[in-house]
Amino acid sequence: MRSAVGLVLLASLLVGCRAPGGGIRVALVGSFETAEGAAAQRAARMAVTEINAGGGIRGRPLVLVERDDRNNLDSAVAVAADLAGGNVIAVVGHTASALTAAVTAVYRTGREPMALLVPVTTPPDLTRADHVFRMVPSDSAQGATLAGWARGAPDFARAAILYQNDTYGRGVRQAFEARFTTLGGEVVSLGPWIEPAVDAYLDRIVARGDVDVLVLAGTGPEVSQVLERVRTRGLTLPVLGPDGLVGVERLGPMAQGVHLAMAYHPGAPLPANQAFVLGYTEGSPDVDPPSQVAASVYDAFHLLRTVISDGGASRRGVLGALGRIGTVQPPFQGVTGIVSFTAQGDLARFPLLIGAVEDGAIRLVERR
Amino acid sequence: MLAGSLRRRLVAGMALLAGLFLLMALIAIASLRSFRDTVAGELEAVGEGAVLASSLMSGASAQLRTAEAYLVSPSPELSREFFRVGDNLHTVRRQFRQIAGLGPGDQTVLNRLASEQARLEVSYATAHALRDLGRTEEAVAEAARARAVVDSLVSNVQSLNRRQQTGLHARTTTVSEQARQREVVLWMLFGLAIAMGASVAVLMVRAIEAPLQELIAAARRFGEGDLRPIRVASMPVELDALAQAMGAMGGRLRTVIDATVREARSISASAGDLSAMSEELAASSHEIVKAIAQVTAGAEQQVREVREGDALLGKLRDATAQDLTATERVAALGEATRTLASRHGTDLSTAGEAVAALREDIRLATGHTRALVRQVEAVGRVIDAAQQIASQSEVLALNAAVEAARGGSAGGGGFGAVADQTRRLTEQSRSAATQVSEVLQGFDTRLQEVLGNLQSAAVRVAEADATTRRSALALEEIGRLVDAMRDIAARVARSAEDSRRVSTRSSELRTHLEHIAQENVMAGEAVTAAATEQSEATDDIATSAARLLEASERLTALVAGFRT
């Protein structure tokens, strides 16, 4: 009997011990065909390379698992389900707000809940789940900031909002509308879109003739197409938008004067940010400066190195350690600024920037 | 050591079983809690899903009504209501995504719902814009496209409900499967516990049975009288203690048996001795009977002799009375003799006193005579001294004559005169001394004669005094003899009185002795009877001793059956 007990104990020990030296698998999920996805991928590889060059985490290398959601809800759900059942211990993604909002619950369905570090703007209620940590301000924060700026010096009184009818666009629209109305403004026209077919809305804005400012809430090439339609239609209204408008500066003169709210600007004078930007573009002169998504992804991987060192290379350990950042553990100093989390997984403090497109580039106008 | 003690084995086995049952209980509790949490979560999810699905459906209907109403009668309020309801619908859908247990299929349906709702909203919003612009036909056409989405939207909501139900069934199946697996685990643990309990029981039985058989065999051997030491193999502590106790008991039994054998033999010997002693006692009883008979006869003889003694005492009493009379006469004679002796004693005393006075006178005369002798002697010494002086005076006269011769006539004349005077004086003194000495010698002779006469008188007085004293002593002796005779007579009288009292007492004693003798006779008869009874008891003792001997022999034979 004693020998049997000994065998059981030995087997328990063998099972309980994990062979050292294996890599720590962390996933990046995004739409790598899009500009944001590609930027996130580049930033993630850069961060993982730096981490492994520094000896990995507790002597173990960090293994980057890249999964493309093809900017599609169903594909994103499938990828999330696959990762939830796999052996990665944390996920950074997705690179589209709508996809992220659609799959957060999936990462909770595996053998253990898995931390999801979100590098893009998402609805406030996204962090209702305790496994989601937002690396950027929420939609409502950007929308509210934008409304506050609009009701400030420009003193826009009546606004029309054309928004991408997805989680992101609706979130910005709702936050802007609520804050703008509170500050005395009036939203006189709302125009959701899925495809950039906004002529009817533009005709109505023109017909009203009392709109002071046009807010475009969307991301990707679609929002650029909408802006292009606006300018083509001959509307010269001031155009505002969230960080989803990053990229419209490539439209050239049509984007001239567009103001946008954002959480990151590559020109931020932080030394870490400067080093990041330099490393991000080094050797690739054609590569655009890192976007907010790229910077957040970069910060997310370095943050994971910290929390895995603290809580261990497990899903539960990462979740626990992330919850201690900014409370029990000191805040994380990243290229986007100081990262610390509230109990709901939101950034405890964050700067929001107002930029303006000038001559094909985004110039910092105000820091709020 | 664990294997060395039944108690520890039992405790270990019970602890193991308790641990297993505790593990079973913990697993059962964990299973129940997990099942409870799962069921509660599923019920909550189901409830939340049902509410949200209902909200989705009602929200979609509300949004449709508002959208259609705006087309009929546009107003800012309806427009705001249209977007507000739409926002709520999106919120509900996002909440739906957070329901626990949603699978990828559910998320895909939700994705389709989101897409259709977004498309519906865009279509209606576009229609509203067209309506606002007065482009009614385009608005109607756009609204028609929106309505085409409604069916799909409703279908997807229904599909979501069905998936929820299917998912609930699947999760119920999963929970049931988990419960079944836990049940299997519990049964396995239960079986394991039973098996382990049975194993423990078998091991315990085996651990007890073999040593117990050895102990039973040893006990049986003891019961058959074989008390030799038991030798058992290694066994549990408790049974080992029992074996040791049995061994000790056997040892003590051996000791007892040995002692019993010795005592039985001793009893046997004692019984033999007792039997012999009883026989001797019987013999001595017979002897006692005989002696008692002799004593009885002696007592009767004693009675007779006492009676004879009584007759002799009567005679003695009479003789004593006669002695008493003679004694009284002796006493009277003694008294007369005493009186006479006393009177002669007085005369002798007077004579003694006269002799004593004469002796005193002689002694005084003797003293005076001796004093005269000493005075004569002193006068003689004076005469001697006078003669000495006369000698010296003669020497002095001679010397004076010499000096007178030397001095011649001038000077020697004085010396010669002195020498002459001195020589004459000396001759006169010597002549006087010679005369006195002659007188004194005659006086001393007379004194010596007187002294001799006094001494002779003293001797005769002493003789007379001695005779007187002896006479007085003889009288005193006569007196003492008379006193002795009187005492003897008194003692004889007292003796006679005593003899009379003794005789009287002897008569009483004789009566008493007769009574005692009679009693002795009776006691002798009683003793004879007792001796007879004693003889019979002695016979009984002999019988008992014989039986005791037989019993001790039987006990010896019985104890001899034990093997020690």
- Percentage of chain A modeled with pLDDT above 90: 58
Question: What per-residue confidence (pLDDT) applies to B407?
Answer: 63
Host H or E run for residue B93: helix B76-97
Residue B459's identity, in one-letter code, is V
- The pLDDT > 70 percentage for chain B reads 94
Give the pLDDT band (50/70/90) at residue B131: very high
Residue B363 has pLDDT above 60, yes or no: yes
Describe the crossing of helices A167-182 and A139-150 by its angle, rounded to 10 degrees. Answer: 40
Of A102, A190, A201, the CB nearest to B111: A102
Residue B2 to residue B13: CA distance in whole angstroms: 11
pLDDT for A19: 38
Among B103, B119, B132, select the one facing A204 at the smallest CB separation.
B132
Q: Which residues of A30-69 are buried (b: 16+ CB within 10 A; e: fewer)?
A: bbbebbbbbbbbbbbbbbbebbbeeebbeebbbbbbebbb
CA–CA separation, A263 and A135 (whole Å): 10
B111 touches chain A (CB under 8 A): yes
Whether the CB of B125 is below 8 Å from some CB of chain A: the reply is yes
Residue B2 has pLDDT above 60, yes or no: no
Residue pLDDT, tens place only, B288-319: 778 777 877 777 777 677 678 777 777 877 77
CB contacts of B111 in chain A (<8 Å) are: 73-74, 77, 102
Residue of A nearest to B91 (CA): A125
B97 bridge partner residues:
none
What's the order of all strands across the beta sheet hosting A132-134?
Answer: A62-68, A24-30, A90-93, A115-118, A132-134
How far is B68 from A50, CA to CA, in rounded Å? 58
d(CA A136, CA A294): 11
Q: A56: alpha, beta or left, given left = phi > 0 and alpha = psi -120 to 50?
A: left
Average pLDDT over residues B207-219: 82
Q: For A192-228, what is each residue's pLDDT tens digit?
A: 999 888 999 999 999 999 999 999 999 888 999 999 9
Q: With a cut of 70, which residues of chain A have pLDDT below it?
A: 1-21, 125-129
**Residue B100: its chain A contacts at CB < 8 A?**
108
Is A158:A151 a contact under the CB 8 Å cutoff?
A: no
- HSE, CB side, 13 Å, CA atoms: give it for residue B146: 26
- Whole-angstrom distance, CA of residue B541 vs CA of residue B278: 6
The structure's pTM equals 0.56
Residue of A nearest to B76 (CA): A188
Taking CB atoms and an 8 Å cut-off, how many pairs form between chains A and B?
84
Q: Which two tokens stand for residue A32?
A: 């790598």
**From the list B94, B103, B115, which residue is nearest A125 (CB)?**
B94
Q: For residue B507, give the amino acid letter.
A: S
pLDDT at B461: 75
According to DSSP, the residues that pair with A364 across neighbouring strands are A355
Contact A342, A348 (CB under 8 A): yes
Average pLDDT taken over every residue of chain B: 79
Of A126, A192, A200, the CB nearest to B133: A200
Q: Which of A71, A165, A195 to mutate to test the interface with B (most CBs of B within 10 A)?
A: A165
Residue B364, burial from CB neighbour count under 10 angstroms (0-12, 13-18, 19+): exposed
Measured in residues, chain B has a length of 564
Distance CA A144, CA A262 (A): 12
Tell how far CA B53 is from the center of its chain: 99
**What are the backbone dihedrals phi and psi of residue A289, each rounded to the nearest 5 degrees, phi first?**
-60, 155
C-alpha B100/C-alpha A177 separation (Å) is: 32
pLDDT at residue B413, as a whole number: 63
Indicate whether B359 pLDDT > 70.
yes
**Interface membership of B255 toward A (CB under 8 Å):** no
Q: Give the one of A77, A193, A201 whose C-beta lies nearest to B107's C-beta.
A: A77
Half-sphere exposure of residue B263: CA atoms within 13 angstroms, side-chain side: 9
Q: Strand pairing of A332-334 and A337-339?
A: antiparallel
Between A221-230, B19-28, B322-331, the lowest mean confidence (pLDDT) is in B322-331
User: Of A256-265, B28-37, B160-169, which one has max mean pLDDT?
Assistant: A256-265
| B556 CA: distance to closest CA in chain A (Å) | 57
Mean pLDDT score across all residues of chain A? 88
pLDDT at B406: 67
Residues B3-9: what's their mean pLDDT? 71
The token duo for A151 is 């009701």
Which tokens go with B217?
């065999």
Contact B129 A108 (CB under 8 A): no
Task: Tell me which residue of A105, A98, A92 sits closest to A39, measured CA to CA.
Answer: A92
Identify the closest residue of chain B to A199 by CA–CA distance: B126
Q: Name the residue of chain A whose CA is nearest to B114's CA.
A: A166
Amino acid code (one letter) for A237: L
Contact B325, B533 (CB under 8 A): no
Q: For residue range B349-358, what is the model confidence (pLDDT) as tens digits?
A: 777 787 778 7
pLDDT score at B161: 80
Its sign, for the CA torsion A334, A338, A342, A346, is negative
CA-based torsion, A147, A150, A156, A162: positive or negative: negative
Q: What are phi and psi of A70, to 5 degrees?
A: 55, 25
Most confident of A198-212, A240-254, B269-283, B467-481: A198-212
Residue B401 has pLDDT above 90, yes or no: no
DSSP-assigned states of every residue in B126-187? HHHHHHHTT-HHHHHHHHHHHHHHHHHHHHHHHHHHHHHHHHHHHHHHHHHHHHHHHHHHHH
Assign B172 a pLDDT band (cuts: 50, 70, 90).
Answer: confident
Interchain pair B107, A204: CB under 8 A: no
Bond preceding residue A94 cis, omega within 30 of 0? yes
- Whether B103 sits inside 8 A of A167 (CB atoms) is no
